[in-house]
Structure 1
Amino acid sequence: MASFLPLVEAGVDESLLSSLARLGPLILTTTSDAVPLDSAIDRYILFDQSAPLDLDEIVQRLDSGATKVIIPTAWAKEVVGIIPAERIILLLDVNNVSAVSDKLRNGVSGVLIKTPSLDVDFITSVSRFFTGKAIHVLPESTSPLPPLSNLRDLRTAGAIPVLNAASLTLSASTSSQLNIGDIFTASLTSDRPDGLFPTVVTEDGRSLGLVYSSVESVKESIITGKGVYQSRKHGLWRKGETSGATQEVLRIRVDCDLDALEFSVVQTGVGFCHLNRASCFGEAEGLSALEKTLRSRLASAPEGSYTQRLFKDPKLLQAKIMEEADELCTANTKEEIAFEAADLFYFALTRCVAAGVGVADIERALDKKAKKVTRRPGNAKPQWVEKPQPPSNGSAVAPIVSPASRNPDAPIRMRTHDLSTASAEQRAAFLRRPVLKSAEMIAKVGPIVNEVRKRGDAALLEFTAKFDRAKLSSTTIFPPFAPESMELDPAVKEAIDVAYANVHKFHAAQVKGDALVVETTPGVVCSRFSRPIARVGLYVPGGTAILPSTALMLGVPAQVAGCKEIVVATPPRSDGSITPEVMYVAHLVGASAILKAGGAQAVAAMAYGTKTVPKVDKIFGPGNQWVTAAKMLVQNDTDALVSIDMPAGPSEVLVIADSTCKPEFVAADLLSQAEHGVDSQVVLVAVNLSDEEVSAIGYEVDSQARALPRVDIIRESIPKSLIVKASSAEEAIEFSNDYAPEHLIIHLKNASASLPLIQNAGSVFIGPYTPESCGDYASGTNHTLPTNGYARQFSGVNTQSFQKHITSQEITVDGLKALGPVVATLADREGLGAHANAVRIRLRDMTA
C-alpha cells in the first residue's frame, strides 16, 4: 500500500523518478514521456477530461502495462462495464462527488478527487460513501503546499494524497518542495517504545527475514535504493556494508495499519541471514530451490551429468520439453498431473536458466500479461493443429487442439471416480465447469456493440464483411420471402414440417388463456394475466452450419405466444444468402424480419435497432462466447432496455445408468453431446456397475467415436469428461441435482419412477428409447436449455418465456373499509405518509 502517489508530467529528475517508483505507482498523464509505455514501473494513466474519449487508447495503455486508468465521469458510461472495474479510477471534482450513481460506483476500483484544499472531514465523509473503494485526493493548488500533518491525517482517514512531482524533492523540505521521505514517513505510526517499525524483507515474494526501520533509515533507503535498516543495538545498519551482501530495493510498502513495512529487494552475496543462508526462515524450497540448483549446475555441473547434457544439447532439451508437455496433456489423475507438471517445470526452467532467465523474470512477464485487457484468440499454431476434413453434411467443425489428439491409436476414454471415496473437495471438483471469462469477453465485444449502436447499418455491413466474409448491400430481409430462397429437398421439408407440428403442439398447450382471479378478502379481487412480449429477437447460429432446429425451438414458442414482431438473426453464407432450411422455418413461424448478421453485431443491432433492423425487447438463442458476452452486455445497459433468455455455456449431458442399461445406448448418448465442441461436458453416473460393466460402456464410447465424422472433437472432449460411480440410484440423482445438467438421461430400471426426485435439470430423457437427439429436433420439447449449472435457477425456453405477466386488483367500498386500516397502519410504520393518506382520504369520504 502506498503512502502517497506522485503525479508525473514532464521534466522530472531521473533520480527522483527512480526513488518515487520504489514507493508505489506513478500517476502519468497521457502526454508524459517520463516513463516509456512498455516500462515495468507501476503506473496509473490520467486522461485529460477535456479530450474526446478514445477507448482504443485506454485499452492500449492497459495492454502496455498500466495498472489502472483514471477517467473523467463524462467517459464513464462508455468505459464502465467494458474495462474491468479493478482497472478504473474515476476522476471527480469535489463538487460532483454526490452525483455518482451506485452503478458507476460499483464499476470502478476507486476515485481521484480534485479539491482546492485538503478538508479531512469532507474526505472522511466521502470515504464512507465509497466504502471499499480506494480514495485518492489531489489538491488543485500547490501553493501553499499542504502541511505534513494534513497529509498524515488524510492517510489515517483511509485516503491517499496525490502530489505533483514538481513539488517533490530528494533534498530537505522547503516552502516550495516536500522531501518524499518526509511525506512517506509522516503517515507511519509505531506502537513500540523505541519508535521503530517492524520491517519484513522479501525477495521474489519469499520472506528473507524480519528487521526494524527508523524514519532515518527509511529516508536513506528511498534516496539510495539500498537496503538500510535500524539495528536496535548498533544504530543505522546499511546492509552489506561490511559483508558485501548488499540489497537493491525494488519497492517499499506500508501495511494497512500504517505501522509496519515491507522491503522488496534483490539480495546479492551469500544471502540475507547472518548464518550465510538466503533466508532467516530456512533454505529455499520448490521453484526457488530448483532455480538455485540449476544456476549452480550451470556454473559448475559435474562432467557427464544429465543436467550438463541438457545445458550443452539444446535439441535434447527441446525434445524433453515437448515430451513432458505431451505427457502432461494426457495425464488423468491428480497425482499423474502433478508428477508430469513437475517434470515439465524442471526442463522448462532449465531452458530459462540457460538463457539467463529466472523465476522472477517469469513472474514479471506473467504480471505484465495479466495487465492486458485484450487477449489474442489463443488458437494453437498450425503445426499443433490437425486440420479436419470438412464433413459431408456441411456442418461447422470446432478447432482441433493438443498434440495428444494427433495419435489416432490412443484410446478415447473418460476419467473414473467413486463418490463413496471422494472427499468434499473432490466432489466439488466433479461439479465444476470450465471457467467462463465473462468480463474479458465483454471487454472484447464492447467496441463492436458500441460501433453498431452509433453507426447502425453501416457498422453492420462492415462487420458482416469482416467476420462472415459476406459483402451485402442490405442487412435485413422482410416478408414475403422469395420462394426460391426456401427450396428444399422434399425429405428435409417433410422432416421440418413434422418437427414444427410437434413443437407447436407442445408449446401451444403451455398457453394459459384464463386469467388467475383470487378474492383475497371480501371486496378485494386480485388477478394475474399474461401478455406476449411485443418484439423478440431470435439468434440462430449459422454461417457454415445449418440449424433449422434452433430456428424452430425459438420461433414456434414466439409464434404461439403471440409476439407481434419476430426478428430472426443469423449469419449469412459467403454469397450473402441464408440457408433455405432456416428461411423456410422463418416463413413457418411468421418472422417479421431476417437480419443477415451474426456475432456481437447482430445482438447489438437487435438490442438498439437501426434504420433497417427493428429494435426488440428480448433476445433469445444460443451462440459462441462472443454472442453470449454481447447478450450479457446489452441486458445491463439501461439505454437498450432489452432482456435475454439465460446465460449460456458449453453443451452438456449427464447420464444415469444401472445394470439394466445397454452399453451401446449409453455410449451413443454420451457421444451425442461430446461432438458439440472440445469444451462439451459429458458425465456418466454409474449406479452399482462393476468394473467390467463400466469398461463395456468405455469400449462402446471408443468404438463408436472412431466411426463418427467429428471424432477429432470427441478426442478432446471425452478425456475431460467423467464417470462417477454411485452406490444407489438415490445417490446418483442427488449428485445430478447438485450438477444441474442441461440434459439428463435416465437409464434405470423403472426410470419414470425417478422423475419426482429430479430437482435441477434443463430437460429429462426417460428410459432406453428416449435419446437426447429427439428433444433436440422433433419430440416437441425445447432444446434451448440452461447450461453451466444454471438449471438450478433457470427453465429452458418455453412459451411463457415469450410472455410477461401483469397483475391487477379491484377493491369495492366494503373491501377498502376492511383493508384500508391495515394498509394505513403499515404505511405509517414505514414513514410513508402519502401512502397512508391515499387510503384515509377515501375512508373519510365514505363516512362523510
Structure 2
Amino acid sequence: MFIPSLDLADATQASLYSSLSFFGSVILQNGNVDQIKSLINQTGSTLYWAHANSSEEAVQLWDVGVLKVIFTLDTYLQIQTELADIAQDRIAIISTYDEKLKSIDVSTFIIQDAQDFSVLSEFAKQTKSCLLGHGGEKSVAVQVSNVTIESIAELQTQNLDVIVPASRLTVNVDDKSDKLNIAEAFLATAKTDRPDGLYTTMVVDEFNKALGLVYSSKQSVAESIRLGQGVYQSRGRGLWHKGLTSGATQTLKHIDYDCDGDALRFVVEQHGAGFCHLNTRTCFGHDSGITALEKTLKERKNNAPAGSYTARLFNDPKLLRAKIMEEAEELCDATDKDEVAWEAADLIYFALTKCVSAGVSLADIEKNLNKKARKVTRRPGNAKPKWEEPAVAQDTGRIEMMKYSLDDISVQKRASLLLRPIIDSTEIIGRVTPIMQKVRKGGDKAIMDFTRQFDRVDLQSHTIQAPFDPAMMELDPETKKAIDQAYDNIYKFHEAQLDKEPLVVETMPGVVCSRFTRPIERVGLYVPGGTAVLPSTALMLGIPAKVAGCHEIVMASPPRSDGSVVPEVLYVAHKVGASHVVKAGGAQAVAAMAYGTETIPKVDKIFGPGNQYVTAAKMVAQNDTSSLVAIDMPAGPSEVLVIADKTSNPVYVAADLLSQAEHGADSQVVLLAVDLTPEHLQEIETQVHDQAIALPRCDIIRKSIPHSFTLSMKTLEEAMKFSNDYAPEHLILHIENAASVLPSVDNAGSVFVGQYSPESFGDYASGTNHTLPTYGYSRMYSGVNTNGFVKHITSQECTAQGMDLLGDTVMRLAEIEGLGAHRNAVAVRINDLRRK
C-alpha cells in the first residue's frame, strides 16, 4: 500500500490535508506538537505518524492523538528502556537497512535510501510473519525516488509499502503533470477478480455498522476523495453520487481495504433518511440500539409530541440533571447482571438526552474516546472528594515536588521544564461559540435561559442597575474595613500610574507632537463567583477603571443559589461607580457585555479572569469584528516561581509555594534552589508536606504539587536566566538583598521582593494588581493596570516655519512610495509659502 508523507512546513500541501486524512497512515514531516495537534483537531483523524527526537517529545505526540511515533534507530536504541511500556503498534523506526533491525520488536520499519530490494523483501517477509502482540501485522515501508503507480504495485508484491511525498500527489484527475492521483495510488495495491474491474465496497457508519454493499471504480474513489463524499459506481447507471437526488448524502470519514486487499471499506456519516432506497438507515432494515436512540432523541428535540417525557427533559435542565444523578447512583448500587444492564440502559438514555440537548453526537463522543485512547500518560483517576466514600481513608502519602539539578539535566530536559501543559482551546471554543451567538440574537432572554441551564438559578431579573440597594450590600464592620483599606492602597498605586499631563515634544522648530490619554468609554469587568466570594477581583478591575475615568463600568458575576449577588462584590461595584451588575457567569456573561442586550450596555473592552469557558469566550468576542471589543490578555492556570538561597526561611518558602498550589489541580509551582545545602532543601520539602496536610484545600494541593518541581543550581545568575525563560505569573525572591536583583528581572507578571512580601499581599491589598499574565505570556503582556483602561491619542501641529523645514522631506518620501496625493497635500502649501 502507499503511505502519504505530508510536509507541514510546505503551505502548498495544505489543500491536501482533508483528502489525506481519509487514509489510515499519513506521515507528518516538519511539524511541532502544537501544529500536529491543530491538524488532528481540524481533520478529526488520529491515524497520523510523526517524528520525535526524545521520549518526552514522543509522549507529547501520543497524548495529542498521534497513532505512531517515528524514531531514528540511534534515538530508539538510546531510549528503548523508557519505551518499555509503550505498545508495539505505537512505534516506528526510520533507518537505512541495518541487521540490528531484525532484533527490534516494533510495528513498522521505514527504510531510507532503499537499494537492495531482494534483501529488503526477505526482511519484510520475516517481519510480516510476526504478528503484533495485540493482533495486527508488522510492516516495512521504503522511501524510493521517482515513485510511480506501477512501482507501488510492484513493491507490494515484495511485501513493501511505499512512502509517497504529498508534493507528488493530487486529487485532480485531469492533472497533466507527473503527480500521482491519490485514488490511483491507493488502489495500486487493491485487488479485484471482477471482469468489469470494480471493487466490492462495504459502506459503514462511524461506529463500523454496515449500511450497505456497493461497488467502486477508480473514478468513483477519486471523486469521493476529491469531494469528501460517498461516491460509488453503479453497475447499471455509471457514477453514483450518493444522495444527489434524495438528499441522503454521505460525508466521507475514512477509506481503506481489508487484510487481503480485495474489499474496500468506506466509513461515512450518513445524512437524510438513510442509506437504503427504502428510507431505512441501512439496507439491512431499521437501526437499533444506541444509534436508533440517538436518532429518536434528535427527532424529539426538533419536534417532540406535546407532553412527552423526552420533551419535558429537554425543557427542564434541572429534571434532566436530577435523573442523570439518580440513574448513576442506581447503576452504582446494582449488583446482578440483569440489574446492571437495566440501570446502565437508563443512564445511557438520560446521558444521551443531555448530549443531544447540547448538540453533541455519538460521533463526537467516539472522537473523544479515540483521542483518549491515543494518550500514553494517564491521570491517577481518583474521584473528586465529594464522591469519595467517607469510610475510605484519604491519601496520606507524602506531598512532594519533582526534583532536578541543573547540572544533571540535558538541554532538552531544561527546555521541557519551561513548557506548560498544552491547552487545546478548539473544543472549548466550539462549545462557547453557539452560546455567544444565541446571546447576540436572543439578548436578555438568552441570558436568562443560560443562567437557568448552567447556574441552575431562575432569575426574575438578571441585571442590577445603580444606585444599588444598601440592604443588598450590608457587611460586617471587619469585612467592610478590610475592603476599604485594600481599596485605598490599590487606588493610590493605580492613580499614580495615570498620565495626568499630555506629553508635548517639539521635534524640530515649528513642529510640535503631543500625546494625551482618554479613557475607554465603556468597560466590562468579569468577576468569577457563584459559590465563591471574590471582592478582591472586583477591586483589582474596578479601581483602575474608576481611576482612568471610564464613563460606564459594567460588572458581571455569577449569581448565588438564591439569585443574589455576593454583597462584598456589590459593595465594591458601588464604590467604583459601576452602572450595572449582571447576574451571569461564563460565556453568556462575556457575550452580554461584548454585544449588549436590551438591558446590558455593550462595552468596548472586557477585563477579568475566569475558567476556560470565560477565556475562550473572550477570545471569540475579540476575534469577532462585529463586536468591536478588546480584551485584557490571554489566561491560563495560576503559577508561581520562587527563588530561594541559603538566607531563605523554609517555612516562608513553603507557604508561598502552597499559596498558589491551592488554586487548582492544574496550577504549577516552581522552586529554584540556589546553592542550598541538602539539609536546607529537605527542610523546605518537609514544610511543604506538613503545612499542606493542615490546609482545607489539601486535596487540590495533592494534585498540583506532584507535577510541580524543584530545580537546584549553583548561582543566582542561573536562576534568573531560568526565571526569565519561564516568564512566571508570580516571581517571589527569597534571597539576600532581594531588591538588588530587580534589574535582572525581564519577564514576570509581578515580583514579590524579600521574605516579608508574600504573594497574598499582591492578591489582596498591597496596591499592585493581581490580574496577571500566566502561561508564559508575561514575555509580552503586562498585568492589568490603569493604562489598560485608557487609550493614547497623538496630535501634531505645524507652523509655517515647520512646513517649510519639513515639507521637502515628506514630499521626497511620498515620491519614493509612489503616493502622489500625499506629496500634493504638502506641495500646494509649500508653493504658497515660498511664493510669498
1:455 and 1:216 map into 2 onto residues whose CA distance is 51
SS at match of 1:749: coil
Which residue of structure 1 aligns with residue 449 of structure 2?
A: 462
Unaligned 5+ residue runs, structure 2? Answer: 4-15, 25-37, 46-143, 165-179, 198-215, 226-254, 262-362
Shift of 1:26: 9.4
Match of residue 472, structure 1, among 450, 453, 459:
459
1:746 aligns with 2:709: no
Which residue of structure 2 aligns with residue 686 of structure 1?
A: 673
CA deviation map 1:664-704 (0-9, x unaligned): 10000000000000000100000011222211111100000
CA deviation map 1:357-379 (0-9, x unaligned): xxxxxxxx99962699999xxxx
1:408 aligns with 2:395: yes
Which residue of structure 1 aligns with residue 151 of structure 2?
A: 197
Which residue of structure 2 aligns with residue 7 of structure 1?
A: none
Match of residue 448, structure 1, among 435, 448, 455:
435
Which residue of structure 2 aligns with residue 128 of structure 1?
A: none
1:584 aligns with 2:553: no
1:536 aligns with 2:523: yes
Any conservation in 2 of the 1:198–1:210 contact (CA below 8 Å)? yes
CA deviation map 1:738-769 (0-9, x unaligned): 00000000000111111110000000001111
1:721 and 1:744 map into 2 onto residues whose CA distance is 15
Match of residue 534, structure 2, among 547, 560, 579:
547
CA deviation map 1:330-373 (0-9, x unaligned): xxxxxxxxxxxxxxxxxxxxxxxxxxxxxxxxxxx999626999
The residue type paired with residue 522 of structure 1 is P
Any conservation in 2 of the 1:578–1:596 contact (CA below 8 Å)? yes
Which residue of structure 2 aligns with residue 221 of structure 1?
A: 190
1:674 and 1:611 map into 2 onto residues whose CA distance is 41
CA deviation map 1:625-655 (0-9, x unaligned): 0000000000011100000000000000000
Which residue of structure 1 aligns with residue 9 of structure 2?
A: none
User: RMSD value over aligned CA atoms?
Assistant: 4.4
1:790 aligns with 2:777: yes
Q: 1:225 to 1:588 in 2, by over 3 A?
A: farther
Any conservation in 1 of the 2:473–2:567 contact (CA below 8 Å)? yes
How high is the TM-score relative to the length of structure 1? 0.58
Shift of 1:87: 7.5
Which residue of structure 1 aligns with residue 803 of structure 2?
A: 816
Any conservation in 1 of the 2:641–2:731 contact (CA below 8 Å)? yes
Match of residue 556, structure 1, among 512, 523, 543:
543
Which residue of structure 2 aligns with residue 677 of structure 1?
A: 664
CA deviation map 1:443-482 (0-9, x unaligned): 1100000000010000000001111111112221111110
Which residue of structure 1 aligns with residue 698 of structure 2?
A: 711
Which residue of structure 2 aligns with residue 519 of structure 1?
A: 506
2:17 and 2:636 map into 1 onto residues whose CA distance is 40
1:623 aligns with 2:577: no
Q: 1:761 to 1:400 in 2, by over 3 A?
A: farther
Which residue of structure 1 aligns with residue 683 of structure 2?
A: 696
Which residue of structure 1 aligns with residue 590 of structure 2?
A: 603
CA deviation map 1:82-106 (0-9, x unaligned): x976589xxxxxxxxxxxxxxxxxx
Shift of 1:400: 9.6
Shift of 1:847: 2.8
1:488 and 1:543 map into 2 onto residues whose CA distance is 18
Which residue of structure 2 aligns with residue 137 of structure 1?
A: none
1:515 and 1:773 map into 2 onto residues whose CA distance is 35
Q: 1:687 to 1:406 in 2, by over 3 A?
A: farther
1:498 aligns with 2:485: yes
Q: 1:252 to 1:660 in 2, by over 3 A?
A: farther
Which residue of structure 2 aligns with residue 660 of structure 1?
A: 647
Shift of 1:387: 2.3
Unaligned 5+ residue runs, structure 1? Answer: 4-22, 28-39, 44-80, 89-188, 229-247, 257-262, 270-364, 389-398
2:380 and 2:451 map into 1 onto residues whose CA distance is 26
Q: 1:758 to 1:477 in 2, by over 3 A?
A: same
CA deviation map 1:777-831 (0-9, x unaligned): 0000000000000000000001111010000000111111111111111111111
Which residue of structure 1 aligns with residue 385 of structure 2?
A: 387
Identity rate, percent: 55
Shift of 1:221: 3.4
Which residue of structure 2 aligns with residue 757 of structure 1?
A: 744
Any conservation in 2 of the 1:373–1:443 contact (CA below 8 Å)? no
Any conservation in 1 of the 2:443–2:592 contact (CA below 8 Å)? yes
Q: 1:416 to 1:810 in 2, by over 3 A?
A: same
How high is the TM-score relative to the length of structure 2? 0.59
Q: 1:224 to 1:426 in 2, by over 3 A?
A: farther
Shift of 1:423: 1.3
Q: 1:799 to 1:579 in 2, by over 3 A?
A: same
1:416 and 1:208 map into 2 onto residues whose CA distance is 46
Q: 1:820 to 1:583 in 2, by over 3 A?
A: same
Which residue of structure 1 aligns with residue 624 of structure 2?
A: 637
SS at match of 1:595: strand
The residue type paired with residue 451 of structure 2 is T
Q: 1:661 to 1:220 in 2, by over 3 A?
A: closer
Any conservation in 1 of the 2:540–2:769 contact (CA below 8 Å)? yes
Match of residue 369, structure 1, among 348, 360, 367:
367
Q: 1:85 to 1:617 in 2, by over 3 A?
A: farther
The residue type paired with residue 387 of structure 1 is P
The residue type paired with residue 221 of structure 1 is A
Within 5 A, what are the aligned runs for 1:274-353? none
Shift of 1:268: 6.0
Q: 1:638 to 1:84 in 2, by over 3 A?
A: farther
1:510 and 1:225 map into 2 onto residues whose CA distance is 82
SS at match of 1:221: coil
How many correspondences in the alignment?
539
2:766 and 2:563 map into 1 onto residues whose CA distance is 32
1:217 and 1:774 map into 2 onto residues whose CA distance is 64
CA deviation map 1:716-739 (0-9, x unaligned): 000010101111111101100000
The residue type paired with residue 367 of structure 2 is K
2:259 and 2:463 map into 1 onto residues whose CA distance is 66
